């Protein structure tokens, strides 16, 4: 393309310094180029999006960053997905809320470099000073004469120039499309049906496969009877399939047919006998009994300590202890797992909803024996991911079946397959001990978590290693203000596969951390938000608290309901403050407010939840206020949508659904038992984004962890009841 276009890309992966190179320069040097931008002679701009789009907005935000500095209208830009190629694009894992924060400075420089080269090319054509020209809306304009060239007229000349060594990026106040609620480019595609998801991919001669998998995760196929199956219409093949799930093997029987329906009907007639010997068939009760027992009898694997927490707790004026439990959860993406594979003798190609194309290539290189550069992974749109589609069991299945039948195949998981087989978010139990000094400040804090360590499942993993996510969700500034602390974990060994779930361990840690912080505030007799402020030294946290107080009306929360600000009640007994002002106990329990603040993936989020009692005495959620501080950001509408989605997902995990196990198998099969939040159960949500110049943080995940503790803290404020075990039924509080 270099002869007919201006093509710029980044070169430098695996820790190398990122350099901006032209396409022809990269060719001369024999290096791979991250082809982010290409402008052809018609002025058409093509921008490569190297990350997966699963609803979080990467399809929009990557081009929006480049287009801002390039001075082009997003409506005139073609956006294409890059294939899996770590040599070109570096890390392409869409997870950990990393898309913007990992690359935004490079992408801004990329757009600015192309712009400056086009301006320089125009200035030379006009024989004027470069400073007398500027770029706007895909054109270079001469200030005094108002003459203009569109970018397409300049690409040939610009392609002969070198990218500028120094680039001055725009100031925030000069942004035209960044930090603006620009409509998402993928919305029309998803509403008119032209967006290509994994299930939309079709290849000539492609067959369809479903798999009857062992419901006990690592059991074996003892035997199967496919006599009736092979007589079903359209069924072509029936055979066993084995895939790697971490360091274990999952076995099943594949039914391959000429349509998905025929494959599914064929599977229903299949008779499989399983060998489930050699491993424990856990139940939910056994799992939590083991976790609770370990917290009572063992010391955890130390992760992070400071001072002498044992001595601090023994000398504390007040001591608070609590145990919290969180459940196993399914990912339940609206789009079930699917994958198309076409494996040949010396090459393979994959299409599907994939969060980590490089990991897929690495995995298939090992199991197929095909060189990585001969394995092509094509990313489609994802109908939700939440971490599940960063795994590679479903792509491995498709590859093995394609290799066996010597042709292309699409493997589709049913909703029941997805809900029953995981991997799941791990259930956890937390033991918290805290001490307060005479001034009501935290003098010691001891935290031990018990549950499965995701890292312990991989081949060759040391089972003695600590959980590196033990403090995930805890505010960084607390580590400075708390003089004595200890964080440790007690790993649980189980055949149940567990993995990343939206916000990973923050989703469970946050409930324990911020519920316990509220319990400490109550023991200190202090306002919960003010108590947090006293333990947060950095101004950034204080500014977020100020904003949270402002938008939620926190300081006047009781006055707003016709009650004195200091009036509240616990278990129907007036506090000293409410008694002084003569407020009856029953009057001071009309509303409850709860707050929580968590930090993960370099972003801080504070949330306030307001609850009240319905006429029948049941609790209802009236409103949620959320304040997101993700530092430098792209599109406030996308941020608000992600926080709203996170809150709804957290609400479901707190009050609706959980995965239970009986006899080594998951109990819940579909949405009739693994219930989702309905639209009429969704509270009003108000989201605010902090404006600052801090480094970019994540957006897709950090809005989830603070909601549940803010909700349960609000319920305590209303009813005096502490909720320490999830999920709970809001109708029964």
pLDDT in tens, 471-505: 999 999 999 999 999 999 999 999 999 999 999 99
Banded model confidence at residue 13, pLDDT cuts 50, 70, 90:
low
Cα 421–chain centre separation: 20
Nearest to 68, CA basis, from 201, 170, 156: 170
| CA distances (Å), origin 654, targets 101, 609, 624 | 29, 14, 15
Strand partners, 273: 223
Banded model confidence at residue 284, pLDDT cuts 50, 70, 90:
very high
Residue 96 pLDDT exceeds 80 = no
Banded model confidence at residue 579, pLDDT cuts 50, 70, 90:
very low
CA distance 647 to 625: 10
Tokens of 285: 């009760």
DSSP string, 625-638: EEEEE-SS-S-HHH
Nearest to 707, CA basis, from 424, 388, 473: 473
Phi, psi dihedral angles at 173 (to 5 degrees):
-70, -10
Dihedral sign computed on CA atoms, order 107, 112, 113, 117 = positive
Nearest to 40, CA basis, from 77, 8, 4: 4
CB 405 within 8 Å of CB 307: no
Cα 343–chain centre separation: 31
Phi, psi dihedral angles at 682 (to 5 degrees):
-85, 125
CA distance 415 to 669: 8
Dihedral sign computed on CA atoms, order 88, 90, 94, 99 = negative
Pairing relation of β-strands 428-436 and 318-326?
antiparallel
CA distance 370 to 368: 5
Residue position matching structure tokens 């974990």: 489
CB 120 within 8 Å of CB 130: yes
Residue 572: the pLDDT is 37
Strand partners, 593: 610
Residue position matching structure tokens 């909803």: 353
CA distance 425 to 510: 14
pLDDT tens by residue, 336-358: 999 999 999 999 999 999 999 99
Residue 273 pLDDT exceeds 50 = yes
pLDDT tens by residue, 166-221: 899 999 999 999 999 999 889 999 999 999 999 999 999 999 999 999 999 999 99
CA distance 325 to 292: 9
Question: Which domains are delineated in the chain?
Answer: 5-192 (3.30.365.10), 203-277+336-415 (3.30.365.10), 285-328+425-732 (3.30.365.10)
DSSP string, 366-398: HHH---GGGEEEEE-B-S--TTGGGS-HHHHHH
Residue 451 three-state SS: strand
DSSP string, 274-335: EE--SS----HHHHHHHHHHHHHH-PPEEEEEES-HHHHHHH-SEEEEEEEEE-BB----SS
Residue 564 pLDDT exceeds 80 = no
Element (H, E) at 594: strand 591-600
Nearest to 45, CA basis, from 69, 14, 16: 69
**Contact residues for 264 (Cβ-Cβ < 8 A; gap 6+):** 210, 414
CA distance 73 to 75: 5
Residue 20: the pLDDT is 79
| CA distances (Å), origin 557, targets 86, 148, 588, 610, 625 | 52, 58, 12, 9, 13
Angle at 207 between CA 203 and CA 210, to 5 degrees: 125
| CA distances (Å), origin 695, targets 64, 698, 710 | 18, 10, 26
Tokens of 217: 């995760």
Residue position matching structure tokens 């093997």: 249
Strand partners, 611: 592, 621
Whole-model pTM?
0.92
CA distance 444 to 391: 39
Tokens of 160: 């002969």
**Mean pLDDT of the chain, nearest integer:** 91
Banded model confidence at residue 569, pLDDT cuts 50, 70, 90:
very low
pLDDT tens by residue, 622-653: 999 999 999 999 999 999 999 999 999 999 99
Tokens of 86: 């770590």
């Amino acid at each position: 393309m270099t002869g007919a276009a201006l093509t710029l890309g980044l070169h430098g992966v695996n820790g190398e310094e990122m350099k901006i190179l032209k396409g022809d320069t990269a060719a001369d040097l024999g290096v791979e180029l991250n082809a982010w931008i290409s402008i052809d002679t018609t002025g058409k701009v093509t921008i490569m999006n190297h990350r997966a789009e699963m609803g979080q907005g990467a399809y929009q935000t990557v081009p929006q960053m480049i287009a801002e500095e390039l001075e082009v209208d997003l409506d005139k830009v073609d956006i294409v997905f890059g294939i899996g190629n770590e040599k070109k694009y570096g890390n392409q894992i869409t997870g950990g809320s990393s898309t913007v924060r990992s690359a935004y400075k490079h992408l801004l420089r990329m757009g600015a470099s192309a712009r400056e080269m086009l301006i320089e090319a125009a200035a030379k054509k006009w024989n004027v000073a470069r400073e007398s020209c500027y770029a706007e809306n895909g054109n270079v304009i001469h200030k005094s004469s108002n003459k203009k060239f569109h970018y397409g007229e300049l690409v040939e000349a610009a392609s002969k120039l070198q990218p500028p060594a120094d680039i001055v990026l725009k100031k925030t106040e000069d942004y035209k499309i960044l930090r603006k609620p620009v409509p998402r480019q993928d919305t029309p595609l998803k509403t008119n049906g032209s967006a290509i998801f994994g299930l939309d991919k079709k290849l000539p001669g492609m067959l369809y496969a479903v798999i009857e998998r062992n419901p006990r995760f690592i059991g074996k196929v003892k035997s199967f009877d496919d006599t009736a199956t092979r007589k079903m219409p359209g069924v072509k093949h029936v055979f066993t399939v084995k895939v790697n799930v971490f360091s274990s093997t999952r076995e099943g029987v594949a039914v391959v047919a000429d349509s998905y329906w025929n494959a599914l009907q064929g599977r229903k007639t299949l008779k499989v006998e399983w060998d489930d010997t050699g491993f424990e068939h856990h139940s939910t009760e056994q799992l939590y009994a083991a976790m609770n027992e370990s917290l009572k009898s063992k010391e955890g694997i130390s992760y992070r300590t400071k001072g002498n927490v044992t001595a601090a707790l023994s000398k504390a004026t007040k001591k608070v202890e609590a145990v919290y439990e969180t459940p196993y959860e399914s990912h339940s993406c609206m789009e079930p797992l699917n994958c198309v594979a076409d494996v040949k003798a010396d090459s393979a190609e994959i299409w599907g909803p994939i969060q980590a194309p490089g990991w897929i290539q690495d995995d298939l290189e090992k199991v197929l024996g095909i060189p990585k550069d001969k394995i092509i992974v094509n990313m489609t749109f994802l109908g939700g991911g939440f971490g599940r589609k960063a795994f590679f069991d479903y792509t491995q299945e498709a590859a093995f079946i394609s290799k066996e039948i010597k042709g292309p195949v699409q493997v589709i998981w049913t909703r029941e397959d997805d809900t029953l087989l995981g991997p799941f978010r791990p259930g956890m139990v937390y033991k918290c001990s805290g001490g307060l000094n005479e001034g009501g400040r935290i003098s010691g804090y001891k935290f031990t978590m018990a549950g499965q360590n995701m890292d312990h499942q991989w081949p060759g993993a040391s089972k003695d290693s600590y959980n590196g996510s033990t403090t995930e969700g805890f505010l960084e500034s607390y580590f400075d203000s708390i003089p004595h602390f200890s964080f440790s974990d007690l790993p649980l060994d189980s055949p149940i596969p567990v993995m990343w779930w939206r916000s990973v361990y923050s989703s469970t840690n946050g409930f324990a951390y911020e519920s316990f912080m509220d319990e400490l505030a109550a023991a200190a007799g202090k306002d919960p938000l003010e108590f947090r402020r006293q333990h947060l030294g950095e101004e950034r946290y204080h500014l977020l608290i100020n904003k949270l107080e402002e938008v939620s009306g926190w300081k006047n929360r009781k006055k707003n309901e016709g009650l004195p600000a200091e009036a509240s009640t616990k278990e129907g007994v007036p506090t000293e403050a409410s008694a002084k002002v003569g407020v009856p106990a029953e009057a001071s329990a009309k509303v409850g407010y709860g707050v929580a603040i968590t930090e993960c993936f370099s972003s801080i989020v504070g949330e306030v939840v307001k609850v009240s009692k319905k006429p029948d005495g049941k609790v209802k959620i009236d409103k949620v206020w959320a304040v997101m501080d993700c530092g430098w950001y792209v599109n406030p509408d996308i941020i608000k949508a992600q926080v709203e989605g996170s809150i709804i997902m957290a609400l479901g995990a707190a009050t609706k659904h959980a995965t239970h196990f009986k006899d080594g198998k998951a109990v819940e099969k579909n949405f009739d038992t693994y219930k989702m939040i309905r639209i009429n159960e969704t509270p009003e949500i108000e989201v605010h984004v902090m404006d600052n110049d801090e480094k970019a943080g994540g957006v897709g995940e950090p809005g989830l962890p603070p909601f549940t503790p803010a909700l349960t803290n609000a319920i305590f404020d209303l009813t005096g009841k502490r909720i320490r075990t999830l999920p709970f039924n809001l109708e029964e509080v």
